[in-house]
Amino acid sequence: MSNTGRDDTSLDLLNSPYLTGAPAQKTDRVSLIPAAAGAHLSRPLGSQLNSVTPVTERTIPAPSAVQEPSLEASPAPEAARTSPDTEMRAFWSIVKTLRDRASDRYADELAGREGISEDERQSMGWKHIDSVIDEIDRENMQTGGQAAAWSSQERQALRQALRDDMFGLGRFQALLDEPEVENVHINGCDRVWVELAGGRMEPRPPVADSDEQLMADLQYLASHAGEESRSFSAASPDLDMDLRGAVRLAATAPPISKRPTAVFRVHRFVNVTLDQMVETGVISPLACDFLTACVKAQKTIVISGFGGDGKTTLMRALAEKIGPLEQIVTIEKERELHLDRLDSRLVPPIELQARPGSGERAADGSTIGEYTLTMAMEKALRLNSARILVGEVRGSEIGAMISAMQTGAGTYCTVHAYSGEEAVRRLVGLGMNEFSETYMARQLGYHIDVVVQMRKVPQPDGSVKRKIISISEVLPGDTDKGISVADLFRMGPGDENAVPVAPPVDNRLRNDLERTGFDLLRLAGGAR
């Protein structure tokens, strides 16, 4: 048994009459699940899918009457075992056959029916899943007798896998449903690692029986699991997309990578508050009060860090502090913020997402169907939004960011950088394809108010904790650089959180914070 809670035993499905057409051998048949599919057994049926599936509004909930079978089983005789790869192919071959039957019947029943409720759709889906499993199981027994019947373990695994394949992310869903998994790293079908909440990396079984099958599965997600179909192939080998839930997919294919690669990022905290981040030790109470005052004062905030440091989570927490009646517009390349899930919002946010075009380019360089970040920003300004939040700034987004900052309504963005000063330098560099360095520095120096630096901080036990390690003010510079960065909070050796080191220098920032009721003496005195 592995330390992940999975059943590492095997399923002798190759001897099933469903595959072979021959009577089952009563003495040799062992009704166990293959290791590669065992994750389906380690979770209650349908227990986690609602939190991470890309189609949450269409998820089929497990009927309350379903009883979880025991996971205990006797080990299979060595002679009765087959290779894990062969067993996995057999298992997913059965799932595919079941899925094809269930999907066809589900689609047929839905055809021509209008006004059907979501509850009815969900019940209908479960009905067809259970129906095809019962049907194939009867066919097994007609050929091989009672010994050929699927065990309760096998039925549960098939039921969960079928549900994942029809309404979730297929073979990837079980990995994403592991409660501590934050990222799934795949480099070819057989090199699979998960990153857990504490920063630990663990290997997992193959997610496909070949790289070709992995490509096919990723292509299916690209064309079916998002808000719109995306291309993913040798001709379009670079894919980034939101899977209509709390999962983001980044993938590459040959020839730009040696093997098909994919990273699934699970955003588990889509409804989080700054107060909760205080409770978990991400930020101190004083720093929380300071950032809350910045939000109320409509200050522009840049959140800096690397992948997995918690930047997007912090932006959601900051957005939760925005007045519930203020109109928010988000601008992203791939939807990650999901501010519509914030309990505090009375006026729902407007979520704008860039989309790639296709076909030949027009005279202006655009392609048919293309919706750029610049277009999104123009629309956001016409929508009279009180707040504009730009997702991760990696390139052309900087133009949209500057336009948003110039509105003076309090704009947020995230950027990959190691420090507050480096974050500002990176933003300057990103804009130099369109603007001069001097222009970028002066614009950012004038319009950015605060940079918040996040980092995963190693702990004595080998784990990591996400922390806000500094909060800095940004000032127009007197030199040719046109910009300067000064720490207001900083986490030093031995500190649990960033502590105040100096009050703001910029009079505009000081006045706006005091207008919200924030006492600057709390920073001047070095209070913790």
Output the DSSP codes for 203-237: EE--SSSSHHHHHHHHHHHHHHSSSS----SSSS-
Residue 12 predicted with pLDDT over 60 = no
Q: List the structure tokens of 477.
A: 């510079």
Q: Check pLDDT > 80 for residue 74.
A: no
β-strands 350-353, 328-332 pairing: parallel
The whole-chain average pLDDT of the chain stands at 79
pLDDT for position 301? 95
Beta strands 181-187; 261-266: pairing state: antiparallel
* Domains of the chain as residue ranges with CATH: 13-166 (no CATH), 181-266 (3.30.450.90), 274-358+369-524 (3.40.50.300)
What integer is the mean pLDDT of 79-104? 75
Taking 80 as the threshold, does the pLDDT of residue 527 lie above it?
Answer: no
| Residue 418: both structure tokens together | 């190691």
pLDDT tens for each residue of 165-224: 887 888 898 898 888 898 999 999 999 999 988 778 999 988 988 999 999 999 988 888
Closest CA to 313 of 369, 273, 367: 273
DSSP annotation string for 477-513: -SSTT--EEEEEEE--TT-SS-EE------HHHHHHH
> Which whole number is the average pLDDT over 411-428?
92
Place of tokens 């699991």: 225
Does residue 55 carry a pLDDT above 50? no
Query: What CA–CA distance (Å, rounded) separates 338 from 91?
Result: 35
Q: What value does the mean pLDDT take over residues 282-303?
A: 96
Instruction: Give pLDDT, residue 84.
Output: 60
**C-alpha dihedral (444, 447, 449, 452), degrees to nearest 10:** -50
Give residue-wise pLDDT tens across range 111-146: 878 778 878 887 888 899 999 999 988 988 888 888
Closest CA to 411 of 335, 487, 302: 302
21-45 b/e with 16+ CB inside 10 Å = b? Answer: eeebeeeebbbbbbbbbbbbbbbeb
pLDDT for residue 339: 86
Kindly tell me if the per-residue pLDDT of 40 is higher than 70. Answer: no
Please report the pLDDT score of residue 249 as a whole number: 92
Is pLDDT larger for residue 58 or for residue 279?
A: 279
d(CA 298, CA 412): 10
CA–CA distance, 274 with 291 (Å, rounded to integer):
9
**In 3-state terms, what secondary structure has residue 183?**
strand
Amino acid 21: pLDDT:
33
Proportion of the chain above pLDDT 70, given as a percent:
80
Cβ pair 9, 2 in contact under 8 A = no
Is the pLDDT reported for residue 491 higher than 90?
A: yes
Whether the predicted pLDDT of 36 surpasses 50: no
Is the pLDDT assigned to residue 58 strictly greater than 60? no
Residue 485 has pLDDT above 90, yes or no: yes
Percent of the chain with pLDDT over 90: 32
Q: Are 133 and 158 in contact (CB under 8 A)?
A: yes
**Interstrand relation of 247-252 and 261-266 (parallel, antiparallel or unpaired):** antiparallel
- Model confidence band, residue 38 (pLDDT cutoffs 50, 70, 90): very low
Q: Give pLDDT, residue 360.
A: 67
- Which range of 219-223, 281-285, 437-441 scores highest in mean pLDDT? It is 281-285
Picking from 453, 467, 449, the residue whose alpha carbon sits closest to that of residue 512 is 449
Tens digits of residue pLDDT in 228-275 = 778 899 999 999 888 866 788 999 999 999 999 999 988 777 778 899
Rounded to two decimals, what is the model's pTM? 0.70
Q: Going by C-beta distance under 8 Å and a sequence separation of 6 or more, which residues neighbour residue 106?
A: 124, 125, 128, 166
**pLDDT higher for 373 or 431?**
431
CA distance 514 to 260: 53
Tell me what the mean pLDDT of segment 488-493 comes to. Answer: 94
Question: What's the token pair of residue 183?
Answer: 């990222």
pLDDT score recorded for residue 44: 43
| pLDDT surpassing 50 at residue 27 | no
Q: How far apart, in whole angstroms, are the C-alpha atoms of residue 424 and residue 213?
A: 43
Spatial separation of the C-alpha atoms in residues 195 and 199, rounded to whole Å: 6
Q: How are beta strands 484-490 and 367-368 bridged, if at all?
A: unpaired
Do the Cβ atoms of 415 and 266 come closer than 8 Å? no
- Find out whether 145 and 24 touch, Cβ atoms under 8 Å: yes
Q: Which neighbouring-strand residues pair with 248?
A: 242, 265
Residues, the chain: 528
Rounded CA Rg of the chain: 26
In sequence order, the 6+-apart residues with CB closer than 8 A to the CB of 244 are: 54, 55, 56, 225, 226, 227
